Structure 1
């Protein structure tokens, strides 16, 4: 069995971070979200992995390399444009051959991995196995319709009027039958080859398509709110560890990781939180659910429930919350200027101004 990992796409919902960085490499608890998926694949006993890459291919290749750090053998498959999930299967045909495979979206995060799913698929071998989870906003996802017995009877991509609240999670398992389906479908109104259309083709032609509804934690880390929520979830599992230096005037509370080379001076760190290697925190407060990557500087500042990427500095800033700070960013206070209200008011106006 092989794995096909999708790591192309523009990541428009994470801009401006993704103007200069692959969305799959944005860190969760100081580790790229893509790495969690690759580790889950390796844990499931799969070793041959094809990674579909687009414009950010050099960055993905530099981070993942040949896959040896994960116990994997990685083949890179270039995709000229993000033309749909089924298009990724189409261009990976030579790599996949006639093997069964798991398709994993590189910006998805699933707690608990995929080992049990892969094991059951290997035994039962339906033509397709999909993961579903209940969501409050199904119009933003591929949506599955099940019959009274729980069998998949229909799939629709981002429907205007969803027939259920069961969204497709970004992990799919296929036999080679999917290749015939991908060859048979046409691009959607979005101009993409939709994997939902390919799976629907399998259903319409009498193939065995099964689903598993998961109740565990899943997130598509495509926007800032979801990135922060996944970061929070992972930080909840931290084992405290202090490898850097913490001076006597500092206070470390709860599950906190201070990586090697990091310095904490006159500061208060309240976990769960992680301070990356060679970062320095001086006269500052770092609150729960915060990840600070390597080589950052925080001075005389407060931050909580946020992610700070490497080589960034925050100085003299009070209270940053629910924020994603990119690489090589400088955050400083605004210049102090006289405060005044400038008004142009019509007759009989009534206004309220806070003092």
Structure 2
């Protein structure tokens, strides 16, 4: 399979954090979010990655280069003008190998099992497989209505069902009447030929055009329901909450593999220097190369970025982050 990571958005909901950085390069516990996505692809055996870039694209290209340092191959699809959620897929078409495409929105934090998703797509012989998540309040999302096959034998399961319809954001009353709580979770597997008949260099929307077209053409469109962790990191509150969920274990991840849990939910990077008298309240994270002096007090819910100095004495021995004064 090939991966397509859609990473060209401006991230206006995350301003001012995104004024100087593209949204997918914002750090999650000291590492750009995109590194986490690339790692997930590699661990699932997907090493051919096409990355759609636009806003501050050079930051992404300079960081990842050809991907070899990350154990993958990365090629960049530069979107010079906004082409909506699916326009970049048509732009990337010359690079398609013919294998199915696993497509990621670069602002979704999830512990989705990519290998299970790939198996489901192949077993159902779908033209498109959309990952779905359940939400308590569906009024903020467009809903995905599923068909419960009368015969569960064969390709269908409790996790994979055919999609019947896409519905706009409902009112609370409509949501209760519909009894639907499954939403588009932002990860898809698509057959590359689905984009063949769309014009190039024009805006194209997954939600308003591509997915409804598939149903109208009687294509095999499957919903893969993921019952694990899922969060859209598109707002400052969600961006912080996602990181705290990682620290407390609600979002299982390996992003803290280069850190030590010094007390419950309080993680310190291996290269940080923390005075024994410093106070840490979990959940919190202390980034690489950071120095915490004896009077440092890190309150619960704090993420301290790399190379930070907190209560660093102005002494000859304190030359740089990570260097204890003597």
Q: 4+ runs of 1 displaced by more than 6 Å?
A: 159-162
Q: 1:81 to 1:141 in 2, by over 3 A?
A: farther
Provide the aligned length of Structure 1 versus Structure 2: 288
Q: So what's the TM-score if we normalise by structure 2?
A: 0.79
Q: 1:157 to 1:21 in 2, by over 3 A?
A: farther
Q: 1:173 to 1:78 in 2, by over 3 A?
A: same
**CA distance in structure 1 between the aligned counterparts of 2:142 and 2:5, rounded to whole angstroms:** 18
**CA distance in structure 2 between the aligned counterparts of 1:5 and 1:290, rounded to whole angstroms:** 29
SS at match of 2:18: helix
Q: 1:271 to 1:73 in 2, by over 3 A?
A: same
**CA distances 1:178-211 after superposition (whole Å, capped 9, x unpaired):** 2146459xx8xxxx42112212211111110000
1:269 aligns with 2:280: yes
Counterpart in the other structure of 1:165: 181
| Residue 90 of structure 1: how far off its partner (Å) | 1.0
**CA distance in structure 1 between the aligned counterparts of 2:20 and 2:181, rounded to whole angstroms:** 34
**CA distances 1:328-353 after superposition (whole Å, capped 9, x unpaired):** xxxxxxxxxxxxxxxxxxxxxxxxxx
**CA distances 1:93-131 after superposition (whole Å, capped 9, x unpaired):** 111243211111112111144121113323443100001
Matches within 5 A, 1:78-157: 78-149=78-149, 150-156=161-167
**CA distance in structure 2 between the aligned counterparts of 1:177 and 1:76, rounded to whole angstroms:** 20
| Residue 177 of structure 1: how far off its partner (Å) | 3.5
Counterpart in the other structure of 1:38: 38
CA RMSD across the alignment:
2.8
Whether contact under 8 Å (1:23, 1:107) holds in the other structure is yes
Q: 1:117 to 1:261 in 2, by over 3 A?
A: closer
| Residue 284 of structure 1: how far off its partner (Å) | 2.0
Counterpart in the other structure of 2:50: 50
Q: 1:241 to 1:85 in 2, by over 3 A?
A: closer
**CA distances 1:48-107 after superposition (whole Å, capped 9, x unpaired):** 100000022111112222212331100000012332122011111111243211111112
**CA distance in structure 1 between the aligned counterparts of 2:270 and 2:148, rounded to whole angstroms:** 55
Q: 1:31 to 1:158 in 2, by over 3 A?
A: farther
Counterpart in the other structure of 1:287: 299
Counterpart in the other structure of 1:9: 9
Counterpart in the other structure of 2:317: none
Identify unmatched segments of 5+ residues in structure 2. Answer: 150-160, 250-255, 313-320, 322-326
Q: 1:94 to 1:278 in 2, by over 3 A?
A: same
**CA distances 1:18-71 after superposition (whole Å, capped 9, x unpaired):** 011111111222222222211111111111100000022111112222212331
**CA distance in structure 2 between the aligned counterparts of 1:61 and 1:6, rounded to whole angstroms:** 14
Q: Return the structure number with greater relative CO, CA threshold 8 A, min gap 6.
A: 2
**CA distance in structure 2 between the aligned counterparts of 1:296 and 1:95, rounded to whole angstroms:** 42
**CA distance in structure 2 between the aligned counterparts of 1:231 and 1:225, rounded to whole angstroms:** 10
Whether contact under 8 Å (1:8, 1:54) holds in the other structure is yes
| Residue 148 of structure 1: how far off its partner (Å) | 4.4
Q: 1:200 to 1:284 in 2, by over 3 A?
A: same
**CA distance in structure 2 between the aligned counterparts of 1:6 and 1:158, rounded to whole angstroms:** 23
Q: 1:168 to 1:34 in 2, by over 3 A?
A: same
**CA distance in structure 2 between the aligned counterparts of 1:38 and 1:156, rounded to whole angstroms:** 32
